[in-house]
Structure 1
Amino acid sequence: MSQSHACCTVPPVVADGYKEKGEWTTIQGMKTYATGPQDAKTGILVVYDIFGYFPQTLQGADILATGDKERQYQVFMPDFFDGKPADISWYPPDTDEKGKKLGEFFSTAAAPPKTLERIPKVLDEIQSQRSSIQQWGILGYCWGGKIVNLTSQSGTRFKSAAAAHPAMVDANDAKGITIPIALLPSKDEPKDDVEKWEKELKVKNLVKWWPNQIHGFMAARGDLKDPAVEADYKKAYEVLLNWFHETL
């Protein structure tokens, strides 16, 4: 079937004033956004970008959870920054001060080991509450894309992975990835880095560029009032849904 199923079922994108459909709970002491039917057999862990919870990111989680009525997921987005995300005004880092603040954030709150060690505990606690979940996928935006790469190595508990406009793309990460992975780079991701990463993969993969969109368009930096952004945002979530349908 050449026409993907999700493209026909994803609801219209809300450009302004989005009201999330899920609920807020606490997992491993972290505020966590949970959405989707509690009897769904597949869970998707979403790792947000460094700016934390934004309406565009929450809407994306809801689209993944219930955007395709034929195939729904339980989606969870923990607050790995414990209520202290980066300030979106720091990006792009076009001044020394902004660059310094972003650098400090990446080396402290956003240092990958801190988040990586929490993920298994998060899955354990969710599974203890939602015994219906039989398998897991993972999605990360920007910084979260780096976390996805690092947690998709040998021994991972995830069955499928995806990263949207990923930060810190590294071919060395690709060598050890053991599960199917999709990468959705924007025009701001370094082409050479992505191509080197892609060449090192030994697993089923999908790389789809969004040449007209900025870094962050599927998450905190997406200007959904712009019709061109809104259209690509919807298409990109259709790609993600179809990827998870295919690999989970």
Structure 2
Amino acid sequence: MADQLPEQCCTLPPFTSDYTPTGSYFTIPVPDTKQPDLRVYSAGPTDAKTVIVCVYDIFALHQNTLQGVDHLASTYGCRAVLPDLFRGESWPVENMPPKEGQAVLSAWVQARGNWEAQIRPALVAVVNKVKEEGAEKIGAYGFCFGAKKLVQAQPDNLFGAVALIHPSFFVAADGDAMRVPSLLVPSSGEDQTIMNGFWSRVQAKGGDIAAKSIREDFTDMHHGFAAARSNWADPRMAGRARDCHALMIKFFKATL
């Protein structure tokens, strides 16, 4: 796995937000681990047949990300859930750019986002829970580090389709891992050579994976524009974030 975050990820601070979330929280155990129960934010009807899971960025339960979950649930008419995979922790918003340097931030993300020990068991528990409550179609979207987790999730067949929004830690070979249709949304902050390589490998798979996958570049926007690093008080930024969420809804409707 690539061991560095994009430059914009390490220099652009998150925006503050005074949005008040409209959803609620529940907790679930994570079997076969020593981790505490997992707190999960939920918006939309709990018995919805379609559920979309959000995997956040390093700023965790940021108000922008919660607002996006609420917007997706209400606009799509689905249930959207956001597990707190960092268990109440996040990278401090006041430490951006990181005073310790980019390598320290990347190492922190790698440790907190360890796939086998932390993220995989939590996502499996979330998927099992929503299935118990009636979910029949489950998709997921991930921001930044979260997009990489959805690549790593491919062998577990947890999701019927995934959206990868301004992804971090990607390498071109990640395209070989994709088993379901994917929506790729690069910003100006991603390495275009890697994005192109990833996309060409997805397309080379053929069949529904290639035919139903979509790429739309938001190169007029900085890394993080659809989540914590966007100032949604700015009409242009808010509009482009809504464009991204509308694209996700269209994609999930077509693939789940």
TM bin (shorter chain): 0.7 to 0.9
Matched, 1:86 2:94: no
1:146 aligned partner: 148
Residues 229 and 166 of structure 1, relative CA distance in 2, 3 Å threshold: same
Counterpart-to-counterpart distance in 1, 2:227 and 2:114: 20
For 1:187, what is the secondary structure of its paired residue? coil
- In the TM superposition, residue 100 of structure 1 has moved relative to its aligned partner by 4.1
Any idea what the Cα deviations from partners look like across 1:71-109, whole Å, max 9, x if unmatched?
Answer: x1111111110111112344445x5x1324313312311
Alignment partner, residue 117 of structure 1: 121
Please give the per-residue CA displacement for 1:107-150, whole angstroms capped at 9, x wherever unaligned.
Answer: 3112233312321122123333x1x2112101111000000111
User: Is the 8 Å Cα contact of residues 27 and 78 (structure 1) preserved in structure 2?
Assistant: no
Name 1:193's counterpart in structure 2.
194
C-alpha separation in 2, matches of 1:124 and 1:39:
14
Partner AA of 1:200 in structure 2: R
Name the counterpart of 1:226.
234
SS state of the match for residue 87, structure 1?
coil
Relative to total residues, which structure has the larger helix share, 1 or 2?
A: 2
Equivalence for 2:80? 75
Distance 1:101 1:87, change over 3 A: farther
**In structure 1, distance between residues paired with 2:165 and 2:102:** 22
The unaligned stretches of length 5 or more in structure 2 are 1-15, 30-36
Match of 1:67, SS?
helix
Equivalent positions of 1:1-248 (< 5 A) are: 17-28=18-29, 29-68=37-76, 72-93=77-98, 97-113=100-116, 114-128=118-132, 130=133, 132-153=134-155, 155-201=156-202, 202=205, 203=209, 204-248=212-256
Mean alpha-carbon deviation: is it higher for 106-115 or for 200-209? Answer: 106-115
**Cα distance in 1 between the residues matched to 2:153 and 2:136:** 18
Q: Letter of the 2:148 partner, please give it.
A: K
Residue type of the alignment partner of 2:201: E
Name the SS of the counterpart of 1:164 in structure 2.
Answer: strand
* C-alpha displacement of 1:27: 2.4
Aligned letter for 1:25?
F
8 Å CA contact 1:90–1:98 kept in 2: the answer is no
Give yes or no for contact 1:137–1:159 (8 Å, CA) kept in 2.
yes
What is the CA-CA distance between 1:157 and the residue it aligns to? Answer: 2.5
Return the offset for 1:152: 2.4
Unmatched segments (≥5 aa) in structure 1: 1-14
Compared CA separation, residues 37 and 125, structure 1 to 2 (3 A): closer
In 2, distance between residues paired with 1:80 and 1:176?
22
Two-structure CA RMSD over aligned residues (Å): 1.7
Q: TM-score, normalised by structure 2?
A: 0.83
Hey, what's the Cα distance between the residues in 1 that align with 2:78 and 2:138?
Answer: 10
Q: Give the secondary-structure state (helix, strand or coil) at the position aligned to 1:118.
A: helix
Q: In the alignment, is the contact (CA less than 8 A) between 1:90 and 1:101 conserved in 2?
A: no
Cα pair 1:50 1:110 within 8 Å, conserved = no
Q: For each residue in 1:24-65, what CA deviation from the matched residue of structure 2 results, as whole angstroms up to 9, or x when unmatched?
A: 111231121001112320111110001101111011111111
Q: Which amino acid aligns with 1:54?
A: H
Q: What percentage of aligned pairs have identical amino acids? A: 27
Secondary structure of 2:101's aligned partner: helix
The Cα offsets for residues 153-185 of structure 1, whole Å up to 9 and x where unpaired, read as: 4x4121111011111122222112110100111
**1:232: Cα distance to partner?**
0.4
* Count of aligned positions: 226
Question: 2:147, 2:165 → 1: CA distance?
Answer: 6
